Structure 1
């Protein structure tokens, strides 16, 4: 059920973008136990004028290679599991495609289960 948006600076090759999606999805499968075929992701590229971020916020030195990841998930996970997901995503992306851990920004959006429709106009998780 995760829905993932990944934003990067324009100019990254397709293999780089694919590795980002793969790294995030592997973390979601491993930590949140998302099924393998439960993959809904969008990667967007932005020029410098449309990709704004705090280069030093919280003492973290970010570069132009920052990757911003927002994941909407059902609100069924605790703080420890969320922390584990953040760490696993950073580890996966550091390994492939080689993103510095400082350049991995993740935001989880918890939503109620009844707020999902996976097709056919049906709220599949609503009870």
Structure 2
């Protein structure tokens, strides 16, 4: 049920875009235990002035123009430990597979309740059982 938004530079190669997509999907399946084939992603390239971040850094982390914003909206209920492992796997794998700086991997999770999804047909597939 996750919806993933990946925002990165428009200069990012198709290979990098695919690698980010694959790494996030792999972490969703292996760490967050999302069902296989539950892959809904929007990958968007942006001009330099459309990716806004603190050039002087934040919380001791310095960013570059290679920053990648990853936002995952998914059902609430995962533990803090699962979320930490999810963040770590994505940053580690992007670094290992695409030489992305770990500092440039920005991840935001949005926890929602199951009834906030419609996968089509105007239906609430995860409607509460009455």
Once superposed, which parts of structure 1, at least 4 consecutive aligned residues long, lie more than 4 Å away? none
| Structure-2 separation of matches of 1:32 and 1:7 | 21
| Structure-1 separation of matches of 2:17 and 2:120 | 26
Aligned length: 127
How does 1:16-31 map onto structure 2 within 5 Å? 16-31=16-31
Which runs of 5 or more structure 2 residues have no equivalent in the other structure?
none
Q: Residue 120 of structure 2 aligns with which residue?
A: 119
**What is the Cα deviation at residue 111 of structure 1?**
0.6
- TM-score, reference length from structure 2: 0.94
Asked if 1:105 is matched to 2:130, the reply is no
How does 1:1-127 map onto structure 2 within 5 Å? 1-55=1-55, 56-127=57-128
**What is the Cα deviation at residue 78 of structure 1?**
1.4
Which runs of 5 or more structure 1 residues have no equivalent in the other structure?
none
1:25-56 CA-to-partner distances (Å, cap 9, x unmatched) read 00000111112200000111111111110131
1:45-103 CA-to-partner distances (Å, cap 9, x unmatched) read 11111111013100101111000000001011111111111111111111222211111
| Structure-2 separation of matches of 1:46 and 1:9 | 5
* Greater mean deviation of Cα atoms: 90-99 or 66-75: 90-99
SS at match of 1:44: strand
